[in-house]
Every structure is written in structure tokens, then in C-alpha cells.
Amino acid sequence: MLNDVTFGQYYPAKSFVHALDPRTKLLFLIAFIVAIFIADTFYGMILCALALMVIVIAARVPFGSVLRSVKGILFILILTSVLNLFFHGGEHLLTPENWVIKIYREAIVYTVFLLLRLFLLVMASAILTLTTTPVRLTDGIESLLTPLKWIKFPVHELALIMSIALRFIPTLIDETNRIIAAQKARGADFESGNIIKRIKSVVPILIPLLISAFRRAEELGDAMDARCYSGSKNRTKYKKLIFGWRDLVAAIVCAALIAGVVLFNIYAAQIFPQIYEYIVIS
């Protein structure tokens, strides 16, 4: 039997990365993002990319599904790279003087950097959602937000809202599919016609869905009352996230990565002075 909710991107497998504490993964992701943004040498970038490769292998998710996550932002990638390529200034002009379009060497270096950054960023986030169920993710976020209780931030309520939302997403998806099928059986057409017609055709789905959501909310409220819910006061929590040896390993890897990136930033000029100008963003 599969253990968790099956919507979203989650890819079930048994791996080192799957077994990590969700908080570790969240913090690692943040650290990784910091690393790729402070890296201003290609060596640092390659180090990040290598780390990501190792993580993908350790996560035992198909590389294709990680790459697929980039598809969603393909348009943004192309747009930003084109803009940067043409409008980023610099000193070393590559195109002939009389051309309208001017491309500088710095622009190319910068664009490649930017693309690498975005790629790594999206793929790293994809690994988080591929290896962590929404439920574990929520638990992790709640746990990380706990310190905010001191400034009266309603952490508990937020966590409960997220938990209930996650719980009802599959139920409401089922319900939506059933309503669509029922209206189709009555001859409804959701696939053809102009925009106005299509918007109109959503009404027979939306209204029953809303009514059902309200009915469910009301019943859930009663059920929560009947199970003695009275707000976050004096409430205990059963589930506890516990860091294990894996998390320690992850923390060490993370520290090594950041250290490597910083070292390359400082010493790149000394190590490879002859190609220095090609490997850093000016």
C-alpha cells in the first residue's frame, strides 16, 4: 500500500532523500538557493550543479521528472536570456561596430550564469516536492514557523488550515470529476465554443462544487466540535519530527557546499588567473 496522498508531484520511492526530515530538506533548499546566488564563479556553479546531480541520484527519482519541472518556466527562461543577451552592457563588444544589435562578452557570461541559476533553482525545488509528501512538507513548515508563536503569529491555526486543505484536495478533485461526468452525461460540452461559452459552461460544475464544499465545511465543523476542538489553547501535538543521522550527513554536505562556493569566490583569481575574466560575472 502506498502511504501518502497522491496528488501533486510526489514520486514514491525509498531513498536517502525521501527519508530526510522535511525541515532538513526545506533548510537545505534555502541554503542551496543562497549558494547559487552568492556563487560568482563558474567553479562555484559547477560545484552546485554537481551537488544537485548527487542529490538526484540519491533521491532515486527519474531525471526526466526533475527536468520536466523546468518546462513550466521555459518561456520566462527564454525571455530573460534574450533580454539579457541584447541589453546587458560591457566592454568587449563581439558584434561588428555598425550593427544595431550589440552583444558583449560580459552579456554572454552573465546570461549563461543566470540560466544556470534558474535551472538549478527550479530543479532543486522540484526535488523537494518530488521526494516529500505535501503532508510531511506541511509538518516541516509548521515546525520551522513555531518560533513565530512568540510574536503571536497563529502558527497552529495556519497548520490546521493547511492540513485540512490537503486532506480535502483529493476529495474535492473526485467530486469535481464526478460532477463533470454527470453534466457530460446530460449533454454538456466543455470542450468547444468561444471563451464566453466556455466560461458559461463552467457554471453547472462550479455551483454544485461550491454548495458541496460548504456542506462539507459545515459537517467538518460539527465533527471537530464533537471531537472537543476548542482552539489552540492547551493543545498538545502528537507528531514530532526528529532529526536522524541522515540529517547530519545532509547538514555536512550543505556546509561543504557553501564553503566550497565561498572559497571559489575568493580564490578563483589566484587559481586560474589566465581565464579569470571568463569565469566570473563582472
Partner 1 sequence: MEEKINGASPLNENAENAAPADKTAAAAEDCAVKFDGVTFSYAEGSAPALKNVSLTVKKGEFLAIIGHNGSGKSTLARLINGLLLPDSGKVTVFGLDTSEGKNPLKIRRRAGIVFQNPDNQMVASIIEDDVAFGPENLGVEREEIGRRIDWALKAVGMEAYRTGTPSRLSGGQKQRIAIAGVLAIKPDIIILDESTAMLDPRGRREVMGVVSKLNKEEGLTAILITHFMEEALLADRTIVMNRGEIVMQGTPSDIFLHSERLEAYNLSLPRIGRICKALQKSGVGVADCLSPEALAEEIAQEVEKLGAARRSLPYIPAPSGNSSHEWDIDVKDLTFTYSAKSPFASKALKGINLHIDEGEFFGIIGHTGSGKSTLVQHLNALIKLPQANKKYRAKKPKKGQPAPVLPHISVGQFNLADKKCDFLKLRESVGMVFQYPEYQLFAETVSADVAFGLKNFRKGITPEQTEAAVRDALEMVGLSYEEVKDKSPFDLSGGQKRRVAIAGVIVTRPHILILDEPAAGLDPLGKKEIMELLHKIHREWCSTVIVVSHDMDEIADNCTKAAVISDGEVADCASPRELFRKADELTSLGLDVPLTAKACARLKELGIEIDTDFTCEDFADKVISLFEGGKQDA
Q: 12 or 89: whose CB is closer to partner 1?
A: 12
- 20 backbone dihedrals φ, ψ, rounded to 5°: -65, 155
Exactly one of 29, 183, 251, 262 binds partner 1 (CB under 8 A); which one? 183
C-alpha cell at 173: 478533485
**Which residues, other chains included, contact 244 with Cβ-Cβ below 8 Å and sequence gap of 6+?**
19, 21
- What letter would DSSP give residue 275? G
76-135 binders of partner 1 (CB under 8 A): 134-135
Q: In 3D, which of 19, 214, 40, 242 has the Cα closest to residue 132?
A: 19
Q: 92 or 215: whose CB is closer to partner 1?
A: 215
C-alpha cell at 205: 460544475
238-257 binders of partner 1 (CB under 8 A): 238-240
Q: Is 176 in the site for partner 1 (CB under 8 A)?
A: no
Stretch in the footprint of partner 1 (CB under 8 A) among 36-44, 116-124, 159-167, 272-280: 159-167
Q: Is 202 in the site for partner 1 (CB under 8 A)?
A: no
How far is residue 15 CA from its own chain's centroid? 19
**Which residues, other chains included, contact 91 with Cβ-Cβ below 8 Å and sequence gap of 6+?**
104, 105, 106
Exactly one of 74, 151, 228, 242 binds partner 1 (CB under 8 A); which one? 228
Binding site for partner 1 (CB under 8 A): 1-6, 11-12, 134-135, 160, 163-164, 166-167, 170-171, 175, 178-179, 181-189, 203-205, 207-208, 211-212, 215-216, 219-220, 222-230, 234-240
